[in-house]
Amino acid sequence: MKTFCGRANTTTGALDWVEESEEYDYHQEIARSCYADMLHDHDRNEKYCQGIQAAVARVKARGEDVIVLDIGTGTGLLSMMAVSAGADVCYAVEVFKPMADAALSIVEKNGFSDKIKIINKHSTDVTVGPGGDMQTKANVLITELFDTELIGEGALPSYEHAHHNLVQEGCEAVPHRATVYAQLVESELLWNWARLQPVEVEGARLVPPPEVSRCAGSHSVCDIQLSQVSPRSFSPLGPVCPMFSVAFSEPVSSAFRSHSYQFAAQSGGRAQVVLSWWDLEMDPSGSIVCSMAPSWMYPEPKTAPWRDHWMQSVYFLPVDGRVTEGEELSLTVCRDDYSLWYSVRSHRQRDPQTVGPPSRPSCTCRAHLVWNRPRFGELNDRWRTESYVGALRSVLREDSVCLGISDGSLLPVFAHMLGAQKVYSLENSRMSKEVLEQLLEANSMTGGVELLKSRPEQLTSEDLEGRQISVLMGEPYFTTSLLPWHSLYFWYCRTALTGLLRPDVTVLPCSATLHALAVEFQDLWRIRAPCGTCEGFDVTPMDEMVQRSLEFQESREAEPHPLWEYPCRALTQSAAAMTFDFTQCVPENPVISEGSLPLTRIGRCHGVVLWMEYQLTEDVSVSAGLVQPVGDQGECEWSRHRKQGVYFLRSPWESSGDGRAAVSYSFTFEPSSGDIKMDFSVDPQ
Strand 401-405 to 469-473 pairing: parallel
Q: How confident is the model at residue 355, as a pLDDT? A: 58
- At position 77, the amino acid (one-letter code) is L
The lowest-confidence range among 23-32, 163-172, 311-320, 378-387 is 23-32
pLDDT in tens, 42-68: 999 999 999 999 999 999 999 999 999
Split at pLDDT 50, 70, 90, the class of 174 is very high
Q: How confident is the model at residue 428, as a pLDDT? A: 83
**94, 144, 172, 520: which is the annotated catalytic residue?**
144
pLDDT for residue 552 is more than 60: no
User: For residues 353 and 256, which has the higher predicted lDDT (pLDDT)?
Assistant: 256
Mean per-residue pLDDT, 378-386: 96
Q: How confident is the model at residue 28, as a pLDDT? A: 60
DSSP code, position 22: T
Taking the C-alpha atoms of 460, 14, 512 and 199 in order, what is their torsion angle to the nearest 10 degrees?
A: 80
Count CB neighbours of 604 within 10 A: 14
Q: What is the mean pLDDT of the chain?
A: 93
pLDDT for residue 1 is more than 60: no
Q: How confident is the model at residue 280, as a pLDDT? A: 98
pLDDT in tens, 114-146: 999 999 999 999 999 999 999 999 999 999 999
CB within 8 Å of 124: residues ≥ 6 apart: 157, 158, 161
Helix (H, G, I), strand (E, B) or coil at 499: helix
User: For residues 552 and 177, which has the higher predicted lDDT (pLDDT)?
Assistant: 177
Taking the C-alpha atoms of 250, 314, 612 and 490 in order, what is their torsion angle to the nearest 10 degrees?
A: 100
What is the phi/psi pair of residue 525, to 5°? Answer: -55, -25
Domains and their CATH numbers in the chain: 2-32 (no CATH), 35-174 (3.40.50.150), 178-246+253-365 (2.70.160.11), 381-508 (3.40.50.150), 511-522+567-683 (2.70.160.11)
Alpha-carbon span 463 to 459, nearest angstrom:
6
Q: 89 forms bridges with which residues in the sheet? A: 67
pLDDT in tens, 326-340: 999 999 999 999 999
Split at pLDDT 50, 70, 90, the class of 220 is confident
pLDDT for residue 3 is more than 70: no
Q: Residue 116: name the closest of 84, 141, 158, 145 by CA.
A: 84
Mean per-residue pLDDT, 549-562: 73
Residue 465 falls in the annotated catalytic set: no
**46, 108, 153, 211: which is the annotated catalytic residue?**
153
Contact 168, 138 (CB under 8 A): yes
pLDDT for residue 462 is more than 70: yes
Mean per-residue pLDDT, 162-182: 98
Split at pLDDT 50, 70, 90, the class of 591 is very high
Residue 144 falls in the annotated catalytic set: yes
Count CB neighbours of 169 within 10 A: 9
- Percent pLDDT > 90 in the chain is 86
Q: How confident is the model at residue 23, as a pLDDT? A: 52
Mean per-residue pLDDT, 479-489: 95
Contact 415, 443 (CB under 8 A): no
Split at pLDDT 50, 70, 90, the class of 554 is very low
Q: How confident is the model at residue 583, as a pLDDT? A: 97
pLDDT for residue 17 is more than 80: no
Mean per-residue pLDDT, 319-326: 94
Q: How confident is the model at residue 26, as a pLDDT? A: 59
Alpha-carbon span 129 to 117, nearest angstrom:
15
Contact 682, 663 (CB under 8 A): yes
Q: How confident is the model at residue 30, as a pLDDT? A: 62
Q: How confident is the model at residue 546, as a pLDDT? A: 74
Q: How confident is the model at residue 542, as a pLDDT? A: 86
> What SS3 string covers 68-83?
EEEECCCCCHHHHHHH
Alpha-carbon span 107 to 556, nearest angstrom:
30
Mean per-residue pLDDT, 357-368: 89
Q: Residue 51: name the closest of 285, 250, 252 by CA.
A: 285
Q: How confident is the model at residue 352, as a pLDDT? A: 47
Strand 340-346 to 14-21 pairing: unpaired
pLDDT for residue 2 is more than 60: no
Alpha-carbon span 298 to 304, nearest angstrom:
7
Q: How confident is the model at residue 132, as a pLDDT? A: 96
Q: How confident is the model at residue 637, as a pLDDT? A: 98
Q: How confident is the model at residue 22, as a pLDDT? A: 52
Split at pLDDT 50, 70, 90, the class of 555 is low
